[in-house]
């Protein structure tokens, strides 16, 4: 397994620099805090639950808006709970969908217990087996530039497995009311 070298906050901040019209769906827990810490934005659909469903929300959104880029930014625990969705996405081949897994090989919200990726379970290999157009590991911060380019211009479906350090980070708590998050997102996208 590659060394885990990325600072999650720095990596997400660099991914979302000049994000333009990018639609972002962060998974529950730490990845929602990371995306909020990079700067609150109406086109963030923050999740506070629905574990295992983040990638599928990204698929529904990507199919509905083929004119826009969609980035799912979630953790290894959420992705592992929804592994079947990699197959579902692979069938539909959405060109505008990218999934970034911030992988610390831990369940950070519950006490840093090891996840399956800590035992060598390989999300990149799974994505490629599910006909993703491209999947890669990023374990150095200088890889953020290429990863960001993939989010904006790469042909999807794409998966970036970002090896982050398993450190606890301060919580940055964004909007929590689901109706408000939805309404704000849809107003900004003019899809209401």
Partner 1 sequence: MSRKSGDRFCEKNMLTLTASPRSPLHNPTPLETSWPDAIYAQFRRVGIRQVGYVPDAGHSRLIALCQDDPDIADVVLTTEEEGVGLVAGAALGGQRAALLMQSSGVGNCVNMFSLLRNCGFGCVVLVTMRGEFGEFNPWQVPMGAITEDVLRLCGFLTYRVESADAVEPTVGAGCDMAFAGNLQIAILLSQRLIGPKLWTR
Among 1, 4, 5, 50, the residue binding partner 1 under the rule CB under 8 A is: 50
Please say which residue, 4 or 83, places its beta carbon nearer to partner 1.
Answer: 83
26 versus 52: smaller Cβ distance to partner 1: 52
Residue 34: partners with Cβ closer than 8 Å, 6 or more residues away: 8, 9, 12, 26, 73, 102, 169, 172
CB of 134 to partner 1, least distance (A): 17
- Closer Cβ to partner 1, 44 or 117, answer by number: 44
Angle between helix 30-37 and helix 8-15 axes, rounded to 10 deg: 60
3-class DSSP assignment, residue 82 = coil
What minimum distance in Å lies between the beta carbon of 160 and partner 1?
A: 19
In angstroms, what is the minimal distance from the CB of 1 to partner 1?
Answer: 26
Spatial distance between the Cα atoms of 66 and 63, rounded to a whole number of angstroms = 6
Q: One symbol per residue from 8 to 47: x for binding partner 1 (CB under 8 A), - otherwise; what is it?
A: ---------------x-x-------------------x--
Which CB, 82 or 143, lies closer to partner 1? 82
Verify binding: residue 145, partner 1, rule CB under 8 A: no
How many residues of this chain bind partner 1 (CB under 8 A)?
Answer: 40
CA angle 184, 190, 192 (to 5 degrees): 70
**Cα 144 to chain centroid, rounded:** 14
The reply to whether 53 sits near partner 1 by the rule CB under 8 A is yes
Asked if 92 and 118 count as a contact pair (C-beta separation under 8 A), the reply is no
d(CA 174, CA 29): 11
SS3 185: helix
- Binding site residues, partner 1, CB under 8 A: 23, 25, 45, 48-65, 82, 84-85, 87-88, 91-93, 131, 178-179, 181-182, 185-186, 189-192
């Amino acid at each position: 397994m590659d060394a885990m070298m990325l600072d999650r906050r720095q990596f997400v901040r660099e991914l979302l620099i000049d994000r333009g019209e990018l639609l972002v769906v962060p998974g529950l827990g730490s990845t929602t805090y990371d995306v909020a810490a990079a700067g609150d934005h109406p086109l963030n659909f923050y999740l506070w639950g629905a574990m295992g469903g983040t990638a599928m929300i990204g698929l529904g959104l990507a199919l509905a808006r083929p004119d826009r880029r969609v980035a799912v930014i979630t953790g290894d625990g959420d992705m592992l709970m929804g592994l079947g969705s990699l197959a579902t996405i692979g069938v539909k081949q959405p060109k505008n969908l990218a999934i970034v897994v911030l992988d610390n090989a831990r369940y950070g919200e519950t006490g840093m217990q090891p996840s399956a990726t800590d035992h060598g379970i390989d999300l990149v290999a799974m994505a490629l087996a599910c006909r993703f157009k491209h999947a890669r590991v990023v374990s150095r911060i200088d890889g953020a530039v290429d990863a960001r380019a993939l989010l904006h211009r790469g042909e999807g479906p794409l998966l970036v497995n970002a090896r982050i350090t398993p450190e606890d980070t301060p919580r940055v708590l964004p909007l929590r009311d689901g109706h408000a998050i939805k309404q704000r997102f849809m107003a900004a996208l003019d899809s209401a």
